[in-house]
């Protein structure tokens, strides 16, 4: 026991807790600005949005939905925000669930209502409970209500959309549908968001460095996962963007393999799709590693085809093209290489507060959109798959590769593995 304590003390003494910049949390002014932009887009109509997050685990960990988080910065369940553009003073009212002293002994104390709490969240007024009374007052001073809740095909309507519809019926208000507004605004990322996404990517780079070192014959996929996730959190990650995928050999041909139980063997390729988040902003990176340190001739042929597909997609990125256009480019590249039938997913997706974030696939890409470029070829009959995944941000002149610090060319990946070991 003494030796164990001494070893633990030695490890602790050699570890410096990271303090990555910028701070993980966005300044409150960012949320004020976002709400001001939404209010302007409402054209004088009242709007309401409710938290739609999910609870998981025995400690009831709460993860806020990205729309409500983007607009408020609040990570609490049962919250609402009411936007009343024509109100004299309280244009933005935040509603939080009622306090429960007994529950707070389990979950921790919550702030009392106060002017300081208004300032903390950057709103005109914080209240607790239901927003129905405030909405009723807003109904008397507005002639229209905007439904801003994202569309759903579920049988039951969202509670905020139902509230808005009920308000319209009670006061005879005109209903305006702005269900795509939040997605449109969230698709364009500002400097504050990009800083945090780039921090998440830099942290993710440390995890993949650990993979390049750890992915050797005789260890399990879980061993590799453990090394990379330790590196994420040691570098200051605030979470994982998604469950880590470590697929060796035939498991690399399974897109969302997460059992991570197989033992790595010489000659295997290992597809590692794993990334950290920072301040809730996601990253998403995939690299394919040769366990022996070198790709075989067949593996190299496939890898070069995937790499070329990436190059073809990159060459087509500029403001005005759509994700659908880029999907066509990816498919044509795979067709030329003879692997179209083995390319079984979309070339990429938007990234932001969620790893699969809001955005429009058929509309022209705006400056500030962030998305992945991740072609892949999957050959279960040959016992391997190859995927290379990077992130870009659209600029006025084209794009910027956010993951440029990650080796990508086949020769550079082999050199990275050799140097790491």
Query: Is 285 in contact with 389 (CB distance < 8 Å)?
Result: yes
Residues in a beta bridge with 401: 392
Strands, E, within 166-319: which ranges? 174-177, 239-240, 245-248, 269-273, 276-277, 286-290
Containing 92, the helix (H) or strand (E) segment is strand 92-96
Please give the chain's pLDDT, 421 residues, in tens: 444 444 444 444 567 777 888 999 999 999 999 999 999 999 999 999 999 999 888 877 899 999 999 999 999 999 999 999 999 999 999 999 998 888 878 888 889 999 999 999 999 999 999 999 999 999 999 999 999 999 877 767 899 999 999 999 999 999 999 999 999 999 999 999 999 999 999 999 999 999 999 999 999 999 999 999 999 999 999 999 999 999 999 999 999 898 999 999 999 999 999 999 999 999 999 999 999 999 999 999 999 999 999 999 999 999 999 999 999 999 999 999 999 999 999 999 999 999 999 999 999 999 999 999 999 999 999 999 999 999 999 999 999 999 999 999 999 999 999 999 9
The CA distances from residue 115 to 44, 120, 122, in Å, are 27, 9, 10
| Predicted model pTM | 0.93
Query: Is 370 in contact with 392 (CB distance < 8 Å)?
Result: yes
Q: Specify the CATH number of the domain 191-420.
A: 3.90.230.10
Helices (H) and strands (E) in the chain, counts: 13, 18
Quote the CA–CA distance of 144 and 150 in Å, as a whole number: 18
Q: Specify the CATH number of the domain 28-187.
A: 3.40.350.10
Note the pLDDT of residue 13: 54
Burial group, residue 144, by CB count within 10 angstroms (0-12, 13-18, 19+) = middle
Note the pLDDT of residue 327: 98
Query: Is 50 in contact with 148 (CB distance < 8 Å)?
Result: no
Query: Is 323 in contact with 304 (CB distance < 8 Å)?
Result: no
Containing 82, the helix (H) or strand (E) segment is strand 80-83
Angle between helix axes 410-420 and 191-214 (nearest 10 degrees) is: 70
Domain boundaries, the chain: 28-187, 191-420
Of 341, 311, 316, the closest CA to residue 328 belongs to 316
Residue 93 tokens, joined: 């009212």
Note the pLDDT of residue 10: 46
Note the pLDDT of residue 4: 42
């Amino acid at each position: 026991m003494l030796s164990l304590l001494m070893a633990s003390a030695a490890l602790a003494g050699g570890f410096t807790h990271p303090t990555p910049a910028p701070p993980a949390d966005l300044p409150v002014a960012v949320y004020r600005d976002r709400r001001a932009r939404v209010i302007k887009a409402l054209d004088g109509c009242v709007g309401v949005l409710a938290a739609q997050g999910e609870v998981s685990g025995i400690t009831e960990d709460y993860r806020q939905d990205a729309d409500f988080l983007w607009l408020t910065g609040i990570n609490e369940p049962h919250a609402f925000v009411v936007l009343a553009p024509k109100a004299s003073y309280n244009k933005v009212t935040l509603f939080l669930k009622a306090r429960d002293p007994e529950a707070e002994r389990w979950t921790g104390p919550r702030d009392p209502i106060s002017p300081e709490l208004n300032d903390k969240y950057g709103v005109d007024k914080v209240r607790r409970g239901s927003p129905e009374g405030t909405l009723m007052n807003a109904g008397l001073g507005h002639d229209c209500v905007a439904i801003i809740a994202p569309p759903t095909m579920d049988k039951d309507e969202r509670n905020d959309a139902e509230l808005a519809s009920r308000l319209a019926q009670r006061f005879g208000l005109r209903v305006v549908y702005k269900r795509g507004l939040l997605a449109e605004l969230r698709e364009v990322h500002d400097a504050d968001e990009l800083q945090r996404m780039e921090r998440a990517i830099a942290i993710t780079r440390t995890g993949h460095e650990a993979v390049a070192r750890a992915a050797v014959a005789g260890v399990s996929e879980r061993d590799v996962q453990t090394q990379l996730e330790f590196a994420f959190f040691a570098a200051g990650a605030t979470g994982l963007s998604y469950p880590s995928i470590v697929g060796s050999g035939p498991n690399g041909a399974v897109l969302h393999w997460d059992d991570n139980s197989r033992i790595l063997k010489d000659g295997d390729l290992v597809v590692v799709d794993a990334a950290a988040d920072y301040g809730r902003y996601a990253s998403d990176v995939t690299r394919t590693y040769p366990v022996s340190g070198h790709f075989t001739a067949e593996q190299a042929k496939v890898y070069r085809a995937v790499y070329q597909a990436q190059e073809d997609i990159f060459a087509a990125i500029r403001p005005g093209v759509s994700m659908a256009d880029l999907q066509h480019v990816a498919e044509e590249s795979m067709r030329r290489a003879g692997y179209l039938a083995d390319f079984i997913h979309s070339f990429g997706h938007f990234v932001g507060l969620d790893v699969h974030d809001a955005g429009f696939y058929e509309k022209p890409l705006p400056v500030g959109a962030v998305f992945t470029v991740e072609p892949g070829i999957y050959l279960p009959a040959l016992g391997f798959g190859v995927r290379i995944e990077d992130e870009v941000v659209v600029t006025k002149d084209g794009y910027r590769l956010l993951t440029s610090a990650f080796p990508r060319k086949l020769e550079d990946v082999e050199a990275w593995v050799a140097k790491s070991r």
